[in-house]
């Protein structure tokens, strides 16, 4: 229970990412620019990486636990969602470029929080 209390914001972000990732958007007539979905992936995972990093720092996690929690977990989470989309959701497609955008977002979110928190 203590884990959920300490990471409730990150859990909420994960739930939002799952919901957005499994929506059927093929019928939506949304006008965007080329690569807009990659920007969305980067931003979603930037928020997840930043939130996990912040909550881990607040809990004063050791370095290894910080990396596992704030970088490795969201990377595995992103890959798992892409695999589910690829294997079981015909209206969605799993994409390696989405995984790369996820990874970039996680790293940017992590670095932002680490740099900002070191200045506080």
pLDDT of residue 27: 65
- Counting the structural domains of the chain, the total is 1
The whole-number pLDDT of residue 21 equals 93
Is 28 contained in some domain?
A: no
Instruction: Say what the pLDDT of residue 2 is.
Output: 75
User: Residue 26's pLDDT is what?
Assistant: 66
Residues of the chain with pLDDT under 70: 1, 26-28
Residue 1's pLDDT is: 67
CA–CA separation, 45 vs 110, rounded Å? Answer: 10
Q: State which residues form the domain around 115.
A: 2-21+34-119
56 in a domain, yes or no? yes
In terms of C-beta distances under 8 Å and separation of at least 24 residues, what long-range contacts does 18-26 make, across chains too?
Answer: 18/81, 20/44, 21/81, 21/84, 21/85, 21/92, 22/84, 22/85, 22/89, 22/92, 24/91, 24/92, 25/91, 26/91
The whole-number pLDDT of residue 92 equals: 85
Residue 29 belongs to some domain of the structure: no
């Amino acid at each position: 229970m203590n884990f959920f209390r300490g990471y409730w914001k990150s859990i909420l972000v994960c739930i939002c990412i799952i919901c957005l990732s499994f929506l059927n958007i093929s019928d939506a007539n949304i006008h965007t620019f080329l690569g807009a979905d990659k920007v969305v992936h980067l931003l979603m995972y930037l928020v997840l990486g930043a939130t996990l990093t912040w909550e881990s720092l607040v809990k004063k996690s050791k370095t290894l636990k910080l990396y596992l929690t704030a970088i490795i977990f969201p990377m595995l989470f992103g890959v798992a969602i892409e695999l589910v989309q690829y294997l079981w959701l015909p209206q969605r497609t799993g994409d390696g470029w989405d995984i790369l955008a996820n990874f970039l977002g996680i790293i940017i979110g992590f670095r932002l929080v680490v740099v900002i928190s070191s200045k506080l």
